[in-house]
Every structure is written in C-alpha cells, then in structure tokens.
C-alpha cells in the first residue's frame, strides 16, 4: 500500500533576534490511509510545528519550511497558495487543543461548520446546513439542530471539542491532524472524545496524526508511534513494539517517568536535566547530556534513525539496547 | 499519629448575580460540606475534575479565603477564630505550592529575595539569612549561586523547585500542594514528584495534595479523597481506593484514565454528559445525572458520607454495586518487563528500582 502522506527531510526553522533555530530538524515519516500515527514528545520537541508545516500554517517570515511533504502524490510545500487552500480543511483538516480559542466566538458553531462546507463544495446553504446538523449528530452532540444555533461560549469544553471534530470531519478528509485534542479536557470527558474519535475513524477510514504528550492517549488510539526529541524523531514503530521494547534511551526514560496506575514503584526513574536549547546545540546526540548510557561516541557523532528490529527504528548508537551492553557502554 | 488538620463541614458559596437588573441572587456551591482529617507526615490527595472544589478546599484550609460555614482546626486551634497576627504566625506551619510556577513567583525579585521574604516575615535565621537561603536551595536541588538570578532565567521544573523552596523555608508542618506538577512535562514531573517525596521523608511534612491526575496521586498519596461538585464522594487509604473503588464516580474516573500499555484491554465505564453547573447542583445525589445506577431514591435523598472500616462512601447503593474488576488494569496479568525496568533503573543511580 502506498503512503497517503510521506514527509521527507522536513526542516522548519524560525528566525529570532537571538539567531535562527530548527524547531523541526530533518523529520521523515510516512502514513498509510486509515492508519493512526501518534506523534509524541515534550514541550518544544517540534511535534506541533510538524503539524503546522503539513497544514501550511507556518507564518513566513519568521518561519521557513524546507523538505518535501507528499500528500496524495503532490508536494504540499510546492503547491500554489490557491491549490493549498483547496486541500486545507478539505482533504486535510485539523483539530486544535483549545476548542475555546480555536472556535470563533462571534459565530454560531453551525455557521462555522457551514462556512467550510460552502468553501469547498458547490452546494446551497440549505443542504450545507442539513449536512452540518448531520455532522453534529454524528459527533453525538445532544439535540444537534438546536446546538447548531449556539455560540461557542454556550457549550461545555467537551461539547466544543465535539463541534471542532464535526467541523474537521464535515468534508470527509483523508487526513486528520489532531493536536492535543483532549489535553484541555477532564479525564471523563477525554474518555468520551477518544471513544468518539475511535468510532469515527473506523467509520470513515480517515488517517489520523495524533499529536500528544500523553503516552496513555497514544496507547488508546494509535497503531504507530513516532517519538520526538529536540526537533528530531528518535524512535518510531508500531505502538506494541515501541511501548513493550523501546530502544531509544529517551523513550525508555519517558515511559519510566510517568506514574502508572498498574505499576507499584517507590521512586520514579526521572530523566535528569532538561531539553537542550535549540540555539546552542552541542555536537553529537541531542539526548546524550541526559542519557545514562551515553559514551564518547554519542557526544561526538549524531546517530541517525535506523532499523533496529522489524518495523522499529531508533536513532541511537547503542540500539538495540539491553541492560548488559548498556552497562558495558 | 497525631491529627494535624481537622476540617469539619466546610462550605464555600461564591455569590453570583444574574438577570438583567442583576437582582437574581444565586451562588456557586464550590465547596458544600467537606469533612476530613489529615495526620502529621501523611499525604492526603484531593482529586476530582475541574470545578469539583478541590482547589477552593485547599485555599480554605489555609484561610486564604473565608468560608461560608464550617471549621478548620490546625494543631487543635480554630483557624477561623484567629486574629490577623495570630493567623500570620500560624501560617509559618502551613504553606502552599501553586500549580503555575510562572505566575506564582514575583518576576521582579531575585530567587534570593523570594526565599528571604518568608524568613524575614517570621523572624527566622536572623543574621544568617543568606546561609539559610543557600541551604534551602541545596535541599531542593539548586545551587547557591541561583539566589542571584531572576525567575525568568529558570525552566518550569526549576521554577517549581523554587516554589517548593519558598514553602519549606519556614519549616512548615503542612504544605498544600495545588496541582504542583500539572504544568510540567512528564520527565520533569517525575523529578518534582521525587523531590516532594524526599522532602516529606526528611522533614516529616504533611501534604494536602490537590490533583486531577490519578496516576500521580496513586504514586504519592497515603489516603485519597475523591470530590464531585463540592462534596467528597469517597475517601479511603490509597490501596483500598484504587483496588476497591465503591462509588460509581470513582469507578468511572479510574476507568477513564488512558494507560500507556497498548496490550492492556479494559472494559470501559464511559460516563455520559457533563458535570452539572455548581450554581444549581441537582437535588439529591449530585452524581445521579451521570450515574448508571441511579434510582428514584437518589433524586430525593442526598447520600451522606458513611464510614465503614476506614472506607467512606457517599452512595445509597454502594453495597449493591460491584467493584468492577475492569476499572483498573490488572498488573498481575501483565508479565513484568524485566529488561525495561532494569534499563529505567539506570536513570536513577543509587535508587532501588
């Protein structure tokens, strides 16, 4: 099966007063139709900038996007603006983290859904309205015909996120980018939204890039996962493989540092230190300063992403990592 | 164990005005009859979702806001009966760490000044304040020269360490931790959680730990109180609460948490709908509008928090509701990943895995 989306060497840089830095630095990944890829990492790792680069939403200047983003055969980075507008919101759409700030407070949610439909489809307002109400029903919005005329402030956080999802899926996109779709929600509401996303994905076959810092959310929804650190993908593979046999020390540390309901531990294995400043990167592996397994090679040469087991890649000189080789290192 | 804090029937209503002429009077029932004890040296976690009243309870306990009704006794003294001077003196023993390490430190003060202020206020370490500041910084894992810097020069995790340093500077007995790690990235969260645990052991602190993240709570707490719409609906020691949750809300809350273990398949208890408005909480049991087990009695009669064998539940029918085996992932069914835990132990040299 050929990939729906293929990103090659994506590098997104921003010019600041202090200098230019790469928020995303040579990211390559592929996504097949109907699959869900979890893109995980901590603040500043470049996961959201990757999403904005795909959507063509990086402001330039100060931003600059280089590389290739092949979607349904076309390189999105080389599309003229009008052609990109025909893709955005139609073939690819996006759900943002904060439904209150990403919905327009001055329009009803119905009007906001209809706006997108009318922009991309040659249908009249009455049919567009019917389609919007149908969509609100599909995201299990209670009394959708009434909610159509509500302004965003009248809805709860969970309802607003349902409205956002209705808007994003109204045109049946092939690819949905969900940037922290449940982070602003309470846990019982998060469970509702994750359940809804799973159902809709299975019904529509939409591919999803799920951006999150929450490894639990990835395990719930995604089939594949890519772990980002300081602008690079450090490990990727199937969710089962990466969660059970992580090979990059950052993934190992990250999985260890989350308190887990089903594990009893006296002390959390925290990753000491903090992420490097992207303006002053040292040579070598970007994780080396925080890595207990780092050797002199790690501090001199930067490892590239390579296959370490079937369907699993890691950017670490010592991968595949087991305890004895790690100690010897 | 000595009881450090006794909270009895605590109520806080925030008045709101409604209507065109602003004459309709009603109130947000933020906290509506909360009772608990906290022993010296223990950690009681207050958990619940947005608007359940957990943070308001934390502020009432320190008398940062005045209650509508109820009492708080700290080391036997009624906090709400103290005059301003006595209250200030009492606060030496009770401190708070806030959620947002960016907003809770004064950007115009150096870290040294931030840490000296409580010392001056309480007349501690007179004549050797600089040394005391250096000591406190070392305790939270920062360096003495950090005292000269300003908060903006630090990362989020370091700022939270400064917030913790300010709280322990006056050698309190109780710290209210209001979502102390929710604003931090996971790898930094673990550092701060470990620090809080170390400090508790070294200094014999009691924590009132306010959080929405049940996994963090399971790691740090000794007892857990689950709040819903201004009330405690269930309270028990940690082991009991997580292995045998009896209130339908606690069961749903535990079941809703995503677990980073793709091989675990759980039966979900999905709650329908949203939390009702705290302005007009539903009569009877407040959870009944979302409860799968609700019956007629729940609509008319408010269930009291009944204690049985140290396990308190506010539900008429808890005896009939089975503790669901599926609400929590069962660790015994999972083979232990020896390789992974050994590799992870390398991140914590000196600590037992």
Q: What does the block give as tokens for A161? A: 């996120």
Q: Are A274 and B256 a contacting pair at CB < 8 A?
A: no
Read off the pLDDT of each residue in B345-350 and give the average, rounded to a whole number.
Answer: 74
**Nearest-neighbour CA in chain A from B191: distance (Å):** 5
Is the pLDDT confidence value at A273 over 80? yes
- DSSP letters for B218-238: HHH-SEEEEEETTEEEEEEEH
The two structure tokens encoding residue A292: 């207990």
Residue B327 clears pLDDT 70, i.e. is over it = no
Query: What is the spatial distance between Cα B205 and Cα B174, in angstroms, rounded to a whole number?
Result: 6
Q: What percent of chain B has a predicted confidence (pLDDT) above 70?
A: 92
Tens-digit pLDDT profile for residues B92-119: 999 999 988 888 999 999 999 999 999 9
Half-sphere exposure of B267 (CA within 13 A, CB side): 5
pLDDT of residue A1: 52
Among B54, B274, B291, most A C-beta atoms within 10 A, so best to mutate, is B274
Omega before A62 within 30 of 0, i.e. cis: yes
Question: Which pLDDT score is estimated for B257?
Answer: 87
pLDDT tens digits for range A156-181: 888 899 999 999 999 999 999 999 99
Q: For A211-255, write each residue's pLDDT tens digit.
A: 999 999 999 999 999 999 999 999 999 999 999 999 999 999 999
Longest dimension (CA), chain A: 70
Q: Do B328 and A264 touch (CB under 8 A)?
A: no
Give the tens place of pLDDT for each residue, A51-78.
999 999 999 889 999 999 999 989 999 9
Q: What does the pLDDT look like over A277-323, one tens digit per residue?
A: 888 888 999 999 999 999 999 999 999 999 999 889 999 999 888 77
User: What tokens were used for A196?
Assistant: 């809804």
Are residues B271 and A253, on separate chains, in Cβ contact within 8 Å?
A: no
Mean pLDDT of B287-293: 92
Confidence of residue B50 (pLDDT cuts 50, 70, 90): confident
Identify which has the larger pLDDT, A84 or B276: A84
Task: Count CB pairs under 8 A between chains A and B.
Answer: 184
A320 touching B, CB under 8 A?
no
Residues 6+ apart with CB under 8 A from B20: none
DSSP sequence for A195-232: HHHHHHHHHH--EEEEEES-HHHHHHH-SEEEEEETTE
* Residues in B touching A293 (Cβ below 8 Å): 346
- Is the CA virtual torsion B97, B101, B107, B111 positive or negative? positive
Residue keyed to tokens 């600041």: A16
What pLDDT is recorded for position B352? 41
Report the residue from A43, A252, A255 with minimal CB separation from B185. Answer: A43
Q: Which residues of A touch B142 (CB under 8 A)?
A: none
Chain B residues near residue A278 by CB distance under 8 angstroms:
none
Which chain A residue lies closest to B191 (C-alpha atoms)?
A270
| ipTM beyond cut 0.90 | no
Q: Contact, A31 vs A207, CB < 8 A?
A: yes
The β-bridge relationship of strands B3-18 and B24-39 is: antiparallel
Q: Where do we find the tokens 């149908």?
A: A134
- C-alpha count within 13 angstroms, C-beta hemisphere, residue A248: 30
> How many H helices and E strands in chain A?
13, 12
Partner-chain contact B348 A269, CB within 8 Å: yes
What would the two tokens of residue B9 be?
């029937």
Cβ distance B194 to A265 less than 8 Å, yes or no, reads no
Minimal Cα distance from B50: which residue of A? A186
pLDDT-wise least confident of B12-26, B111-125, B186-200, B312-326: B12-26
Q: Are A4 and A175 in contact (CB under 8 A)?
A: yes
- Measured CA to CA, the distance from residue A286 to residue B238 in angstroms comes to 39
Phi, psi of A33 (to 5 degrees): -55, 135
Yes or no: say if B245 and B234 are a contact pair by the CB < 8 Å rule. Answer: yes
Beta bridge partners of A313: A236, A307
Give the CA-trace dihedral at A48, A29, A214, A168, to 10 degrees.
60
Angle separating helix axes B186-203 and B156-168, nearest 10 degrees: 20
How far apart, in whole angstroms, are the C-alpha atoms of residue B286 and residue A33? 45
Rounded to whole angstroms, the Cα distance separating A104 from A137 reads 21
How far away is chain B from the Cα of A57, in angstroms, using its nearest Cα? 25
Per the prediction, chain B carries an average pLDDT of: 89
The answer to whether the CB atoms of B328 and A261 lie below 8 A apart is yes
CA distance A328 to chain B (A): 13
Cβ B174 vs Cβ B208: under 8 Å? yes
Residue B275 has what pLDDT? 86
| Strand A232-238 with A63-71, pairing | unpaired
Model pLDDT, residue B353: 35
Q: The pTM is what?
A: 0.87
């Amino acid at each position: 099966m050929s990939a729906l989306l293929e990103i090659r060497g994506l590098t997104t840089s921003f010019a600041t007063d202090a200098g230019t830095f790469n928020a995303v630095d040579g990211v390559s990944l592929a996504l097949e139709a109907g699959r869900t890829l979890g893109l995980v990492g901590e603040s500043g790792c470049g996961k959201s900038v990757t999403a904005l680069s795909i959507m063509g939403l990086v402001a330039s200047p100060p931003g600059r996007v280089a590389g290739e983003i092949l979607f349904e055969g076309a390189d999105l980075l080389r599309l003229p603006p009008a052609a990109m507008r025909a893709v955005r919101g139609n073939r690819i759409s996006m759900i943002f983290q904060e439904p209150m700030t990403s919905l327009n407070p001055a329009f009803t949610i119905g009007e906001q859904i209809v706006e997108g439909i009318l922009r991309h489809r040659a249908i009249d307002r009455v049919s567009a309205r019917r389609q919007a109400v149908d969509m609100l029903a599909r995201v299990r919005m209670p009394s959708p015909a009434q909610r159509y005329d509500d302004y965003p402030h009248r809805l709860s956080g969970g309802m607003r996120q349902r409205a956002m999802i209705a808007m994003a899926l109204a045109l049946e996109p092939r690819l949905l980018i969900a940037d922290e779709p449940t982070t602003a929600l309470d846990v019982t509401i998060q469970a509702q939204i994750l359940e809804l996303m799973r159902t809709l994905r299975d019904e529509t076959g939409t591919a999803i890039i799920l951006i999150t810092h929450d490894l639990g959310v990835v395990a719930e929804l995604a089939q594949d996962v890519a772990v980002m650190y300081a602008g690079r993908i450090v490990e990727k593979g199937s969710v089962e493989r990466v969660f059970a046999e992580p090979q990059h020390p950052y993934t190992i540390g990250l999985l260890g540092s989350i308190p887990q309901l089903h594990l009893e531990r006296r002390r959390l294995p925290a990753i000491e230190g903090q992420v490097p400043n992207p303006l002053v990167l040292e040579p070598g592996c970007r994780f080396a300063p925080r890595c207990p397994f780092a050797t002199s090679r790690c501090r001199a040469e930067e490892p590239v992403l390579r296959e370490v087991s079937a369907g699993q890649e890691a950017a670490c000189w010592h991968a595949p990592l087991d305890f004895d080789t790690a100690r010897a290192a | 164990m000595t009881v450090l804090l006794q909270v009895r029937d605590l109520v806080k209503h925030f008045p709101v005005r409604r209507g065109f002429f602003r004459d309709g009077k009603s109130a947000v029932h933020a906290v509506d009859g909360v009772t608990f004890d906290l022993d010296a040296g223990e950690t009681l976690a207050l958990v619940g979702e947005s608007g359940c009243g957990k943070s308001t309870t934390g502020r009432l306990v320190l008398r940062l806001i005045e209650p509508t009704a109820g009492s708080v006794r700290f080391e036997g003294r009624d906090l709400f009966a103290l005059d301003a001077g006595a209250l200030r003196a009492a606060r030496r023993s009770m401190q708070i760490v806030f959620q947002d390490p960016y907003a809770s430190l004064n950007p115009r003060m150096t870290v040294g000044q931030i840490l000296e202020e409580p010392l001056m206020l309480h007349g501690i370490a007179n004549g050797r304040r600089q040394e005391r500041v250096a000591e406190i910084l070392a305790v939270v894992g920062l360096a003495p020269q950090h005292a000269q810097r300003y908060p903006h020069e630090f990362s989020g995790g370091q700022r939270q360490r400064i917030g913790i340093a300010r709280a322990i500077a006056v050698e309190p007995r109780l710290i209210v931790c209001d979502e102390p790690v929710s604003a931090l990235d996971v790898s930094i969260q673990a550092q701060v959680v470990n620090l809080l645990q170390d400090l508790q052991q070294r200094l014999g602190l009691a924590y009132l730990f306010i959080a929405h993240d049940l996994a963090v709570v399971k790691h740090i707490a000794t007892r857990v109180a689950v709040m819903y719409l201004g009330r405690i609906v269930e309270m028990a020691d940690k082991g009991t609460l997580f292995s045998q949750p009896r209130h339908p809300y606690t069961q749903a809350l535990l079941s809703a948490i995503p677990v980073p273990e793709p091989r675990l398949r759980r039966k979900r208890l999905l709650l329908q709908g949203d939390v009702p408005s705290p302005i007009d909480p539903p009569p009877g049991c407040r959870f009944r509008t979302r409860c799968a087990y609700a019956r007629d009695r729940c609509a008319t009669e408010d269930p009291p928090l009944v204690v049985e064998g140290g396990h308190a539940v506010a539900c008429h029918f808890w005896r009939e509701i089975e503790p669901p085996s599926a609400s929590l992932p069962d660790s015994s069914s999972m083979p232990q990943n020896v390789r992974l835990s050994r590799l992870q132990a390398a991140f914590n040299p000196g600590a037992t895995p």
